């Protein structure tokens, strides 16, 4: 299986960086590039990629218009941008985008976003997801989460809370002194227990279950399981291996 990807960004340096990151993966190949929105649509219809990585701000047509134009077509559109404004996120998702990832999120998340889109899933940078969910809570729109299929262990509660705070697998690995493969195993197990398909689902469940409420323990963790007393770490600076930022952008931490 090879995932065929189209890159659309008005900066050649960004397209080159994305190509290098993606083609380092054995299951991903870049089949076309575009420097503006009109060209992105033309190339998508000509080459029929599986996934399109599209910048939000481009000449002639912006990324949101590209997502709207390709909504009924086979390619799945993932926004890759330095601009994490809520209006862009909501606009992209309303137009059928299968993800919204910040350019400074780091290579791993970019690759995950492509694979998630190809699988019919959606991936949003956890930093953005966290902000959107907090906004929902502030508006009183939080629903009640159902209990997990099986009680969460104490370690799984730690994992859920870390994911809900926007931590990447690597950051969780560093914070909890676990190997990266062990963290991935825990995340997969948590998704199975919660009946969710991705990390966004874990974040939503954590907030809906009030696990993230200050000073409260989640009743979803089984008997004897407790929320560990580890103090949350401060905000992590963006990975130095992320993509170059535009000069007028404000870096955001990766998920």
Give the residue from 34, 178, 197 showing the smallest Cα distance to 121.
Answer: 197
The pLDDT assigned to 46 comes to 94
Per-residue pLDDT at 119 = 79
Nearest Cα to Cα of residue 171 among 78, 238, 225: 238
Instruction: Return the pLDDT at 80.
Output: 86
Cβ neighbours for 175, distance < 8 A, ≥ 6 positions apart: 162, 167, 230, 233
Residue 226: what pLDDT? Answer: 36
The answer to whether the predicted template modeling score (pTM) of the entire model surpasses 0.85 is: no
In percent, the amount of the chain with pLDDT more than 90 equals: 34
* pLDDT score of 248: 42
- Our CA dihedral for 222, 210, 169, 190, rounded to 10 degrees, sits at 40
Count of other CB atoms within 10 angstroms of residue 169 = 23
CA distance 117 to 52: 9
Cα dihedral 177/122/219/149 (nearest 10)? -100
Residues in the chain with pLDDT < 50? 141-142, 215-242, 244-255
| CA gap 104, 125 in Å, rounded | 10
**What pLDDT, on the 0 to 100 scale, is given for residue 169?**
82
pLDDT tens digits along 85-144: 666 776 776 677 778 888 887 888 889 889 888 877 767 776 666 666 565 555 554 456
Give the SS3 label for residue 195: coil
Does residue 191 sit in helix, strand or coil? Answer: helix
Distance CA 6, CA 32 (A): 5
């Amino acid at each position: 299986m090879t995932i065929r990807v189209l890159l659309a960004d008005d900066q050649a340096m960004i397209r080159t960086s994305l190509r290098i990151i993606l083609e380092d993966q054995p299951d991903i190949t870049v089949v076309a590039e575009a420097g503006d929105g009109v060209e992105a649509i033309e190339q998508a219809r000509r080459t029929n990629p599986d996934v399109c990585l599209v910048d939000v701000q481009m000449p002639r047509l912006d990324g949101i218009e590209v997502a709207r134009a390709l909504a009924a077509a086979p390619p799945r559109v993932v926004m890759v941008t330095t601009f994490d404004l809520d209006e862009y996120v909501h606009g992209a998702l309303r137009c059928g985008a299968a993800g919204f990832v910040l350019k400074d999120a780091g290579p791993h998340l970019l690759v995950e976003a492509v694979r998630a889109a190809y699988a019919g899933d959606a991936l949003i940078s956890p930093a953005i997801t966290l902000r959107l969910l907090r906004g929902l809570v502030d508006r009183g729109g939080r629903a009640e989460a159902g209990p997990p299929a099986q009680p969460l262990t104490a370690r799984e509660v730690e994992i859920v809370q870390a994911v809900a705070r926007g931590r990447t697998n690597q950051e969780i690995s560093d914070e909890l002194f676990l190997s990266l493969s062990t963290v991935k195993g825990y995340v997969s197990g948590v998704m199975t227990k919660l009946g969710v398909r991705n990390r966004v689902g874990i974040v939503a469940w954590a907030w809906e279950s009030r696990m993230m409420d200050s000073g409260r323990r989640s009743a979803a963790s089984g008997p004897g399981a407790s929320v560990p007393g580890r103090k949350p770490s401060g905000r992590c600076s963006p990975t130095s291996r992320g993509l170059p930022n535009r000069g007028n952008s404000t870096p955001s931490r990766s998920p």
